[in-house]
Amino acid sequence: MHQVLEKVAQWEDIDSFEKKTLRVPYKTDDIWEYSLRYREALPAILHLIEDLDLQGKLHMYPEKRYVKCPNGNGIMCMYNEVNSANDWHEIQDALGKKKVVIYVCVYADATQLNAFGPQRQKRKGTSNINCFFTFNMSQVPRQKNDDSSHLAMHRARVYHEAVRQVFGSMEGAAKHRIKFVCEHNSAIHVYDSHPTVAMNIMDLEERYHVACLLGVQSKFSCPICLVPSDQQNNFWGTWPARTQKDARAILQQLHHLPTKKAHHELLSTYSLRDISNAFFGVCSYFFDFYRTFTADPLHEIEQGVYGKHIWPWMLESILDKDMQTHVDMHGVTALKYITVHEHNSILWYLAPIVTGLSTGIEHLLLPLLRHLGCILVLMRLDIHTDDTLVLLEEKIELFSIAAQMLHMARERDAVMHIQARMDAAEERALFEIGESGQLQASRNSNAAPEHIILGSPQHSIHISAEYKNNIMHISPNWRNSGLRHDHAMIQGHHSNKLMFAEVAAMFQINISGMHHKIAIVKFYQHLGHHHLSDYMELEKLTDFNFVFLDSFIHSVHILLPTSFYARSIVQDLADGDMYLCLIHTK
């Protein structure tokens, strides 16, 4: 594999790409030019799948994989690669048994790339997925007098002109077929195949470009279905899916409309742009284009709903100075920029750390943080089953309920804050001008008080505490900072009995020629789950016990009692294994 990657790296040299100048109209008569370096996708795909070093190592057909259900009653599906997921099966069923799918995933990122091997940053490889760099294009700048709507339209057109250069060669093969030669089951075969773009992995802004949508402020901003923008948190409603067939029909209707107003109203009804979508020619024959968009935990959770909304709001409105000092004691300090890893750590630890700090709102806040942390852990699993997907859907619905309740509470608080400011302004006016007619006039006017601020800049923080799974540290003076005794999850006498303990010491003894690894521990008593955050609560016992090290299942991080909350708490969201292991522990 290393030899293949080295050969591909040489072949992918940026100087070997074709160069082209895109000339795209802006508004009416203006023509703007952009430099494009690109490579056609179809030759690159065939070069990769026909490589002799990869012969016999590619998945030609989808697979169904099964595991036993945890309760022992029956089996369930397991999903760990694209060829074991349902989409590939659906495409294969549409093609028939005698043809194969070339399953194409498009990774897109608007970041700036340098000329010294940007493809190495973009290409990632495993035994089942191989990636290659396709194109790099100069940015679309903003001019002084640019109208935002015209500029957004222009950028989308430039994007699709570039994509058309890359994927245009795939259109005929996607619709009709193309042959390639490859080894399968120790024999050389000639395959009839259909390449299709079946997955688009990108952030929200690029989804709007790719899907030719008007944007986040439009009536129907979802690229997958026609859910109204103000109903996207409603997980109980059902809305029609977007389809490529419907989009084509809408664009064709535009040519028969008599006025620009009617033209604009039809596009606004579906939040579409009047652009020829470059992906339509390599999708839809066997899999609809609008189903290709995937979830994006990075931009939607860590740096989205949590990083840009929940955490800044908590810093500004929930955690006062004393509370922030308490949070800082658990590893949170000032940081200019917060990385994704740090956002993850903050989210997973935040609910148990702030338990007891703000009793007036924790009935809304703790479930919200818990459900969002669970969603993130589940989305990051390398392997899914039917059970984990059902669990993920449940957590999304629970988070939706918590988010709506918190949103209503925040709106109420904002209204009360504005009302308090208005009342204070009226009191000052009454003091200054007395009970004259001017006060009555000011009450009847529609003018709102000035300088009302409903938000504040985000404060920066840093998470410095980490631990590594299954590595136990026991030290009388850990890095000159005092005692350190890690914690472990231990298998009890029964298979469903799990215990938690602080590890005081570990040693090995020899009895009649047999070596035994022993640990001295203090067990915790299990007190159930917190009624709001659902974190497992413990209380440390005073007696020491001897246990075999073979009974250790997993290292675990236990948060100790604080002045705000008297119980220890198990941090079960640090990784997916721990979360799934403890999810049914009561």
Assigned domain for 514 exists: yes
Q: Give the Cα separation of 475 and 485 in Å (integer).
A: 7
Residue recorded with tokens 């413990």: 538
pLDDT at 436: 52
- My answer on whether 33 and 173 are in the same domain is yes
H or E element at residue 21? strand 18-26
Q: Give the Cα separation of 354 and 114 in Å (integer).
A: 43
- My answer on whether 374 and 335 are in the same domain is yes
Number of domains in the chain: 3
H or E element at residue 344? helix 340-354
3-state secondary structure of 454: coil
The beta strands (E) that lie in 437-493 are given as: 462-463, 474-475, 484-485, 487-491
Scored b (16 or more CB within 10 A) or e, 192-219 reads ebbbbbbbbbbbeebbbbbbbbbbeebe
H or E element at residue 187? strand 187-201
Q: Give the Cα separation of 80 and 381 in Å (integer).
A: 9
Assigned domain for 233 exists: no
pLDDT at 236: 79
Assigned domain for 156 exists: no
Task: Report the relative pairing of strands 462-463 and 65-68 from DSSP bridges.
Answer: unpaired
- My answer on whether 538 and 566 are in the same domain is yes
Give the count of beta carbons closer than 10 Å to the beta carbon of residue 347. 23
- Choosing from 446, 465, 484, the residue where a domain stops is 465
- My answer on whether 565 and 453 are in the same domain is no
pLDDT at 167: 92
Give the count of beta carbons closer than 10 Å to the beta carbon of residue 51. 16
- My answer on whether 435 and 522 are in the same domain is no
Q: Give the Cα separation of 396 and 384 in Å (integer).
A: 16
- pTM for the model: 0.80
Cβ atoms of 294 and 175 closer than 8 Å: no
Cβ atoms of 490 and 501 closer than 8 Å: yes
Q: Give the Cα separation of 57 and 151 in Å (integer).
A: 46
Q: Give the Cα separation of 521 and 540 in Å (integer).
A: 11
Largest CA distance in the chain: 102
Q: Give the Cα separation of 166 and 27 in Å (integer).
A: 25
pLDDT at 147: 63
The percent of the chain in helix, strand and coil, each rounded to the nearest 5, is: 40, 25, 35
User: Quick one: angle between helices 244-253 and 260-270, nearest 10?
Assistant: 170
DSSP string, 484-538: EE-EEEEE-SSTT-EEEEEEEEEEEEEETTEEEEEEEEEEEEEEEE-TTT--EEE
- My answer on whether 478 and 387 are in the same domain is no
pLDDT in tens, the chain (586 residues): 666 666 655 555 555 688 888 898 887 678 888 888 888 899 988 888 888 877 888 888 999 999 998 878 899 999 998 899 999 999 999 999 889 999 999 988 765 444 333 333 333 333 444 566 766 766 676 665 666 778 888 888 998 999 999 999 899 999 999 999 988 778 888 999 999 999 998 888 889 889 999 988 899 999 999 999 988 877 778 999 999 999 999 999 998 999 989 999 999 999 999 999 999 989 878 899 999 998 888 888 888 888 888 888 888 888 888 888 888 876 665 656 777 788 888 888 889 988 988 788 899 899 999 999 999 999 989 999 999 999 999 999 999 888 888 878 777 777 777 777 777 777 776 666 555 554 444 445 444 444 433 333 333 322 222 333 467 888 888 888 888 899 999 988 877 788 999 999 888 888 888 989 999 999 999 999 999 999 999 999 999 999 999 899 888 999 999 888 999 999 999 888 889 888 876 5
Assigned domain for 241 exists: no
**60: Cα within 13 Å, side-chain hemisphere:** 22
Cβ atoms of 532 and 402 closer than 8 Å: no
Q: Which of 461, 473, 492, 462 is nearest to 557 (CA)?
A: 473
CATH code, domain carrying 516: 2.30.30
Assigned domain for 245 exists: no
- Choosing from 465, 498, 526, the residue where a domain stops is 465
- Choosing from 174, 209, 244, the residue where a domain stops is 209
- My answer on whether 441 and 325 are in the same domain is yes
Assigned domain for 287 exists: no
For 566, the domain range is: 467-582
Cβ atoms of 21 and 34 closer than 8 Å: yes
Q: Give the Cα separation of 517 and 515 in Å (integer).
A: 7
Query: Positive or negative, the Cα torsion across 556, 561, 562, 567?
Result: positive
Q: Which of 512, 476, 475, 504 is nearest to 488 (CA)?
A: 504
**313: Cα within 13 Å, side-chain hemisphere:** 18
Contacts of the segment 3-8: beta carbons below 8 A, 24+ positions apart: 3/53, 4/51, 4/53, 4/54, 5/123, 5/125, 7/51, 7/53, 8/48, 8/123, 8/132
- My answer on whether 476 and 447 are in the same domain is no
Residue 206, both tokens: 């690029």
- My answer on whether 491 and 458 are in the same domain is no
Assigned domain for 47 exists: yes
Give the count of beta carbons closer than 10 Å to the beta carbon of residue 324. 17
**First-to-final CA distance of the chain:** 46
Residues β-bridged to residue 292: none
Residue 578, both tokens: 């721990």
- My answer on whether 398 and 441 are in the same domain is yes
- My answer on whether 563 and 460 are in the same domain is no
Assigned domain for 353 exists: yes
- My answer on whether 461 and 556 are in the same domain is no
DSSP string, 537-571: EEEEEEEEEEEEGGGEEEEEEEEPP-SS--SEEEE
Scored b (16 or more CB within 10 A) or e, 73-86 reads eeebbbbebbbbbe
